[in-house]
Amino acid sequence: MDRKELELYLNDLLQAARFRDYCPNGLQVQGRESVAHIVTGVTASLALIEAAVAARADAILVHHGYFWKGEDGRVVGQKHARLKQLLTHDLNLFAYHLPLDAHPDLGNNAQLGALLGISPQGRFGDDELGWIGALAAPTTLRAFAQTVSARLNRVPLVIGEEDCPVRTVGWCTGGAQGWFDAAVAAGVDVYLSGEASEQTTHLARESGVAYIGAGHHATERGGVRALGTHLAERFGVRHTFIDIPNPV
């Protein structure tokens, strides 16, 4: 398909224009005009770019791209190495940050909720990026954490009493531990995100609401993979999801 056609479709599908984000969403680095093979991954690291080159991809689609607010604008060091590979091999780079978190079906939160068996019931936070839902049946924090570990293939950080009952879950993938207060106010039994900060432990202990840090990378694999599969089914392009392991 045509690069411009792909960009317009993604921008419309993910409603990119409505988000005030920390980076530009959409086409970040221009490559060849024709796109027949798309590689997806969480972050546009050098390892992902090299894997996409080896796979003979025409475009890379990621959640974490480049040109973040406040970053050094000089093209030196690792930024130079990454951009050099993209430009040398005429590879397009598409990146969608908050729009990919928020999509009701293909987004990171939607995919994580489905993976963990949570039925969505509401939203909270800026742009309603935080989700609230319920499990099919009450369980314990210990059992729910075991489900998270098994389905994300990663041992999560768990703060709370292992035997405390869990039915309602608040969640937001990635680095959304700052929304823990809002989740507590919403009345959930446990809040799940990717990371934890020093104050996260104190809030969990004092509020009685458990916290699970399931990994920034691990919680954000689902959205971009689902989006790539959607593009393959709709437009007949080839799609390859490449997971570059990241313990964070």
64 is in an annotated binding site: yes
Q: Is residue 63 a known part of a binding site?
A: yes
Tell me: is residue 220 an annotated ligand-binding position.
Answer: yes
Q: Are 25 and 113 in contact (CB under 8 A)?
A: no
AA identity, residue 48: L
Query: In which region does residue 61 sit, left (phi positive, over 0), alpha (psi from -120 to 50) or beta (all else)?
Result: beta
Handedness of CA 199, 113, 15, 185 (dihedral sign): negative
Rounded distance between C-alpha atoms, residue 156 and residue 216, angstroms: 11
233 labelled binding-site residue: no
Burial code (b: 16+ CB inside 10 Å, e: under 16) for 165-178 equals: ebebbbbbbbbbbe
Q: Is 239 annotated as a binding residue?
A: no
Nearest to 20 by CA among 172, 109, 177, 126: 126
Residue ranges of alpha helices (H) inside 60-187 are 77-88, 98-102, 108-116, 141-152, 180-185
Using a CB cutoff of 8 Å and minimum separation of 24, what contacts does 144-151 make?
144/169, 144/190, 144/212, 145/212, 147/116, 147/117, 148/116, 148/192, 148/212, 148/214, 151/115, 151/116
Between the alpha carbon of residue 218 and those of residues 16, 90, 200, 237, the distances in Å are 23, 29, 19, 26
For the annotated binding site for a divalent metal cation, the residues are 63-64, 101, 216, 220
The annotated binding site is made up of 63-64, 101, 216, 220
